[in-house]
């Protein structure tokens, strides 16, 4: 399953939800058809977007067919929204999805293990690769060509330039 967003909170009385979208274009969330909402140990629930509106930055206002009112919307607060991997559009040979990097071993140029890729962040100045070192500390590095020397998704290995460490 691929994480595409998170229901932040209800907005208004008619079931509208404020959703944090992880799509490059936040309103593209509506292009994936059925979304699966998961919250903790509760049974996943399929949701269908009836209407979606831009809000601010990566937030969108969404009406789901299955959420008719604020009381129902409140039950979905903080739910994560997923799709099946096969729902993603096909990509070209030199393209990738960030999710492909999660779990990759991070190595320096000498082959020493630095940690494991844990995710990505973007605070407005570009994408940042986040990995955890063997002490479980979070390390952030720019996801740029001058930092990332090699990516082998088949072997799940990412090599980082020694000069930035």
Domain residue ranges of the chain, discontinuous segments joined by +: 2-87, 98-159
- pTM, two decimal places: 0.71
Dmax over CA atoms of the chain, in Å, equals: 58
pLDDT band at 91 (very low <50, low <70, confident <90, very high): confident
Average predicted confidence (pLDDT) for the chain: 92
In the prediction, which pLDDT does 76 show?
95
In this structure, are residues 65 and 47 in contact, taking their beta carbons and an 8 Å threshold?
yes
In the prediction, which pLDDT does 109 show?
95
Would the pLDDT of 165 be above 80? Answer: no
Neighbours of 14 (CB within 10 A): 12
Average pLDDT (2-21) is: 95
Neighbours of 157 (CB within 10 A): 16
Average pLDDT (8-18) is: 96
Average pLDDT (99-117) is: 94
CATH of 98-159, one of 3.40.50.1820, 2.170.120.30, 2.40.10.10, 2.30.30.240: 2.30.30.240
CATH of 2-87, one of 3.90.1640.30, 1.10.10.10, 3.90.1150.10, 2.40.30.60: 2.40.30.60
In the prediction, which pLDDT does 137 show?
95
In the prediction, which pLDDT does 57 show?
85
What's the alpha-carbon Rg for the chain, to the nearest Å? 18
Q: What does the CA dihedral 131, 60, 81, 9 come to, rounded to 10 degrees?
A: 100
Would the pLDDT of 73 be above 80? Answer: yes
pLDDT tens digit string along 31-71? 998 999 999 878 999 999 999 999 998 899 999 999 999 99
């Amino acid at each position: 399953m691929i994480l595409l967003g998170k229901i932040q909170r209800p907005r208004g009385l008619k079931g509208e939800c404020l959703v944090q979208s992880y799509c490059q274009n936040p309103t593209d969330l509506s292009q994936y058809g059925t979304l699966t909402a998961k919250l903790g140990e509760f049974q996943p629930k399929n949701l269908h977007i009836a209407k979606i509106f831009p809000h601010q930055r990566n937030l969108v206002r969404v009406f789901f067919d299955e959420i008719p009112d604020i009381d129902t919307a409140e039950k979905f607060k903080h739910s994560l929204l997923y799709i099946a991997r096969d729902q993603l559009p096909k990509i070209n040979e030199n393209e990738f999805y960030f999710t492909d990097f999660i779990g990759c071993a991070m190595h320096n140029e000498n082959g020493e293990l630095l940690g494991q890729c844990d995710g990505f962040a973007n605070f407005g100045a570009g994408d940042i690769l986040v990995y955890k070192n063997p002490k479980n500390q979070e390390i952030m590095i720019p996801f740029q060509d001058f930092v990332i020397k090699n990516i082998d998704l088949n072997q799940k290995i990412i090599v980082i330039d020694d000069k930035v460490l």
